C-alpha cells in the first residue's frame, strides 16, 4: 500500500491543502477563500 501526506495551511482569509507521496510527487492541491469577519484585522494582513 502506498503512503501519502496531506498538508493543510489555514490562514486569515483562506485555506490551502495538498496531497503528495513520500517522494514528493503532487497528486492534488487546492485553495479556498472564506470571509474574514474582523475587517480591520484583514486589512493589516494584506
How does pLDDT run across 25-46, given as a tens digit for each residue? 999 999 999 887 766 765 666 5
For the chain, which residues make up each domain, given as ranges?
Answer: 4-44
How does pLDDT run across 8-21, given as a tens digit for each residue? 999 888 999 999 99
DSSP string spanning 1-46? Answer: ---EEEEEEE-SSEEEEEEEETT--EEEEEEEE---S-HHHHHHT-
Amino acid at each position: 500500500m502506498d503512503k501519502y501526506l496531506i498538508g493543510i495551511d489555514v490562514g486569515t482569509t483562506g485555506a490551502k491543502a495538498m496531497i503528495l507521496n513520500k517522494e514528493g510527487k503532487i497528486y492534488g492541491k487546492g485553495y479556498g477563500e472564506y470571509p474574514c469577519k474582523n475587517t480591520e484585522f484583514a486589512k493589516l494582513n494584506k
